[in-house]
Amino acid sequence: MLTIYSDDHHLHHGRCELIDGQLMPCFEMPSRADHVLQRVKDRELGPVEAPRDFGRAPIERIHDKGYLDFFQGAWQRWIATGREDDIMPFTWPARTLRAIKPTTLLGELGYYSFDGGAPITAGTWQAAYSAAQVALTAQASMQAGAYSAFALCRPPGHHAASDVMGGYCYLNNAAIAAQAFLDQGHKRVAILDVDYHHGNGTQAIFYERSDVFFASIHGHPEFEFPFFLGYADEVGEGAGEGFNINYPLPEGSAWDVWGAALDASCQRIDDYAPDVIVVSLGVDTFKNDPISQFKLDSPDYLNMGKRIAALGKPTLFVMEGGYAVEEIGINAVNVLEGFEAALKEGAHA
Ligand code: FKS
Ligand code: ZN
């Protein structure tokens, strides 16, 4: 399987995040992607290539232009005021406040975010832009005939909506790739989000559409981030009704429970009969993940890949979360190796 990877992710390294009442070093750190890349090489998964540059146009198919302009220009505006620490939002237009769009940096920052988990640093735009190009290049390789590809994106993307950043995410790499498939002639794309956290951004982007089916398995929002989306009764709206499915699971869920939700997701995806599948591949479902509460073990990720392969559809894997840094490479690449092993066993090609 071809991996697309850009070193540009190193340009994004937030200093700290506020977690459980404490300022901690960011869990979403550069070594995450480094470990995954190392594992891809150690296991000889396949070639590793740098992304091509498709420009901003395919990103604008998903993200609001004003949002992109704000994100791209924020750092220059920030340092022009003499500051040099990470930009962190701290006021949001919640209930009782007005839904106006301010024009000053800190006002716009609150307007374009939903939490304090997406710091903007000097290199954040470039890193996020390159991550989107990584996803688009992997998508292009499939358009050119590859059956599968791995977009080793960092920063991740599934919490980012059209004009909202948050939860370590700025540009929704999986959504951008899904839209590119549609723009290049495919009729139906299924996104399977296996990250521990609900993919609220992806859900919001496609909620009223039937050309993208979204399925997500995640920690129940009653107890887990992002708290305000990801319930089982969110089934899509308007033309999108019936094309969104959530599997919120209890704390402590292990493979028995998780795998059953995967089977159910795959059944729904099969019914949808997509041309292609995009997997939002987070491995923060791992038992030793420092910020998550599921109990998947490393061999389970092989089975995850096998189950996805059994759908028999071209599949693009897009990296999302995973914070047990030492094991993130093993677990992510296990999914890809499980997928490839199932193909070799001849179930599908
Ligand atoms: C825990 C607080 C955690 C933020 C969690 C963000 C998760 C990000 C992710 C992504 F894939 F996007 F990286 N706050 N007490 O893993 O979903
Ligand atoms: Zn996550």
**Which tens digits make up the pLDDT trace of 110-121?**
999 999 999 999
**Is residue 201 within 6 Å of ligand 1 at its C-beta?**
no
Q: Cα separations (Å) of 10 from 32, 48, 112, 138, 170?
A: 10, 17, 24, 20, 15
pLDDT tens string 264-306: 999 999 999 999 999 999 999 999 999 999 999 999 999 999 9
Residue nearest to atom 2 of ligand 1 (CA): 19
Measured in whole angstroms, the distance separating CA 45 from the mean position of its chain's CA atoms is 21
In the Cβ-directed half-sphere of 56, how many Cα atoms lie within 13 Å? 12
Q: Whose CA is nearest to atom 7 of ligand 1?
A: 167
Rounded Cα distance, 128 and 203, in Å: 20
Mutation probe of ligand 1 site: the residue of 18, 169, 325 with most atoms within 8 A of C-beta: 169
Catalytic residues: 159
Residue 349: per-residue pLDDT:
47
Residue whose entry in the numeric block shows the structure tokens 């061999």: 299
Each residue's pLDDT tens digit, 53-72: 999 999 999 999 999 999 99
**How far apart, in whole angstroms, are the C-alpha atoms of residue 162 and residue 84?**
27
- pLDDT confidence of residue 347: 55
Q: Tell me if 21 CB under 6 Å of ligand 1.
A: no
C-alpha torsion sign, points 142, 5, 66, 228: positive
CB 172 within 8 A of CB 197: no
Q: Which atom of ligand 1 is nearest to the CA of 157?
A: 12
At residue 107, what is the residue type?
A: G
Going by CA atoms, what residue is nearest to atom 6 of ligand 1?
167
pLDDT at 129: 99
Taking the C-alpha atoms of residue 201 and residue 226, their distance in angstroms, rounded to an integer, is 10
Q: To 5 degrees, how large is the angle CA 312–CA 315–CA 318?
A: 150
Distance in Å, CA 322 to ligand 2 centroid: 6
Q: Rounded to an integer, what distance in angstroms lies between the CA atom of residue 32 and that of residue 137? A: 21
Q: Is the CB of 168 under 6 A from ligand 1?
A: yes
Q: Taking the model in full, what pTM does it have?
A: 0.98
Q: Is the shortest distance between the CB of 106 and ligand 1 below 6 Å?
A: no
Distances (CA, A) of 72 to 14, 53, 125, 171: 16, 16, 6, 11
Residue ranges in the chain modelled with pLDDT below 70: 347-349
- For ligand 1, atom 13, name the residue with the nearest CA: 321
At position 2, the amino acid (one-letter code) is L
Element (H, E) at 191: strand 189-193
Judge if the beta carbon of residue 323 lies within 6 A of ligand 1: no
CA 107 to chain centre: 26
